[in-house]
């Protein structure tokens, strides 16, 4: 329902709309009124669109090597707006194509980590006792597994490439979220409103879903905003070890890695992929803060 529609119903209509599963809509409405969050969403949307359709608009293919322009600085006359890399490939095309990989892995893996970690942590913390013991000891075992061997085994099962990386990062990145959410849940479950819900006959899983999870949203969103860059960098390390995205395919992490090696002679090779990542994180950051404010039940 549009805002105009709700307005037409008047105050009573608005209340009904909010009550009738309008929680998400109400949150989105609050999100839309948060100017910084909107700016963040617009910038992020532009970056995403540029990465998806941009490579088709650039006259250079991201794989074509032109040995006459090796490591050329950015220039308007040559048409290489971001310059070229050490193999003479257009850096603008590579940054945009690399963004597809990094954004996909960064956002998807973070999303999965948030959903799994929050659910797991909330259940462990709320039920406590033996359930908590078993679940959190499992988290500790997963924390301790030798990550590289895990990734190699995965690539044997799924083949090299983005899927293996995605699963590998997804499996470990939810663990810290689970620990944080469990800590929050341990504290929240002692609050009066949980007692009231329990006294009112609410089922345990409903309490977890309706009361525990929404009240942990603050730290979860903050941690998620830290997880996106971590995942993007982790992808580059795995690719560097030969386990992930392979040349000529690329990612922001891989480009930053290559740019860091040429930092002193061709700083622009670090600057452009680095700025792309930084701009994405800044915009996501404002979106994250906006989401937090919009959906935190304590701020109503």
Partner 1 sequence: MLRYFLRRLLIAIPTLLALITISFFMIHAVPGGPFDGNRKATPEVMANLNKAYHLDEPLYEQFGRYLWGVLQLDFGPSFKYRDYQVSELIFRGFPISVDIGLWAIAFAALVGIAIGTLAALRQNSMLDYGVMTFGMVGAAVPTFITSPLLQLVFAVWLRSFPVAGWDGGWQHKVLPIFALSLPPIAAISRLTRGSMVEALRSNHVRTARAKGLGLRLVVLRHALLGGLLPTLAYLGPATAGIVTGSVVIERTFSIPGIGRYFVEAASNRDYTMVMGTVIVYGALIILANLIVDLSYSLLDPKVRYD
Residue numbers of the site for partner 1 (CB under 8 A)?
128-129, 133, 136-137, 140-141, 143-146, 148-150, 152-153, 156, 175-176, 179-180, 182-184, 186-187, 190-191, 218-219, 221-223, 225-226, 229-230, 233, 236, 256-257, 260, 263, 270, 274, 277-278, 281-282, 285, 292, 296, 298-299
- Dihedral sign from CA coordinates of 33, 34, 38, 41: negative
Smallest gap from residue 191 Cβ to partner 1 (A): 8
Nearer to partner 1, 2 or 190 (CB): 190
CB count in 10 Å sphere of residue 24: 10
Cα–Cα distances (Å) from 4 to 9, 10, 86, in that order, read 9, 10, 55
Distance, in Å, from the CA atom of 43 to the CA atom of 52, rounded to the nearest integer, reads 14
> Closest approach of Cβ 8 to partner 1, in Å?
34
CA distance 36 to 30: 12
**Burial category of 299 from C-beta neighbours within 10 Å (exposed 0-12, middle 13-18, buried 19 and up):** exposed
- Minimal distance, residue 69 CB to partner 1, in Å: 26
* φ, ψ of residue 84 in degrees (nearest 5): -130, 165
Q: For residues 6 and 254, which CB has a smaller minimum distance to partner 1 in the complex?
A: 254
Name the residue nearer to partner 1 (CB basis): 17 or 36: 36
CB closer to partner 1 out of 10 and 129: 129
> Please, what is the minimum distance in Å from the beta carbon of residue 292 to partner 1?
7
Q: How far is the CB of 239 from partner 1 (least distance, A)?
A: 13
Q: Which residues pair with 90 in a beta bridge?
A: 84
Residue closer to partner 1 (CB basis): 19 or 148 = 148
Angle, vertex CA 93, rays to CA 89 and CA 97, nearest 5: 115
CA 46 to chain centre: 17
- Find the shortest distance in angstroms from Cβ 206 to partner 1: 22
Q: Give 13 or 27: the residue with its C-beta nearer to partner 1.
A: 27
As a whole number of angstroms, the distance between CA 290 and CA 108 comes to: 20
């Amino acid at each position: 329902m549009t805002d105009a529609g709700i307005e037409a119903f008047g105050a009573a209509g608005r209340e009904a709309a909010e009550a009738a599963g309008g929680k998400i809509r109400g949150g989105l409405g609050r999100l839309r009124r948060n100017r910084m969050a909107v700016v963040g969403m617009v910038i992020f949307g532009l970056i995403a669109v540029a990465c998806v359709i941009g490579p088709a608009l650039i006259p250079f293919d991201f794989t074509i090597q032109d040995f006459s322009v090796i490591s050329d600085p950015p220039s308007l006359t040559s048409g290489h707006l971001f310059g070229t890399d050490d193999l003479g490939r257009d850096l603008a095309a590579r940054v945009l194509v690399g963004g597809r990989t990094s954004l996909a892995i960064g956002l998807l893996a973070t999303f999965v980590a948030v959903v799994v970690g929050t659910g797991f942590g909330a259940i462990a913390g709320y039920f406590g006792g033996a359930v908590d013991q078993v679940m959190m000891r499992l988290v500790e075992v997963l924390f301790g597994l030798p990550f590289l061997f895990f990734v190699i085994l995965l690539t044997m099962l799924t083949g090299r490439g983005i899927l293996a990386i995605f699963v590998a990062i997804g499996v470990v990145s939810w663990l810290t979220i689970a620990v944080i959410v469990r800590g929050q849940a341990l504290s929240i479950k002692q609050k009066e409103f949980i007692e009231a819900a329990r006294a009112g006959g609410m089922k345990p899983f409903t309490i977890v879903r309706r009361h525990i999870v929404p009240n942990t949203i603050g730290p979860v969103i903050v941690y998620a905003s830290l997880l996106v860059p971590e995942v993007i960098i982790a992808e580059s390390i795995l690719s560097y070890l030969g386990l992930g995205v392979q040349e000529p395919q690329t990612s922001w992490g891989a480009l930053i890695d290559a740019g860091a090696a040429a930092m002193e002679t061709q700083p622009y090779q670090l600057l452009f992929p680095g700025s792309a990542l930084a701009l994405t994180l800044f915009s996501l950051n404002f979106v994250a803060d906006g989401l937090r404010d919009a959906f935190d039940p304590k701020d109503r």
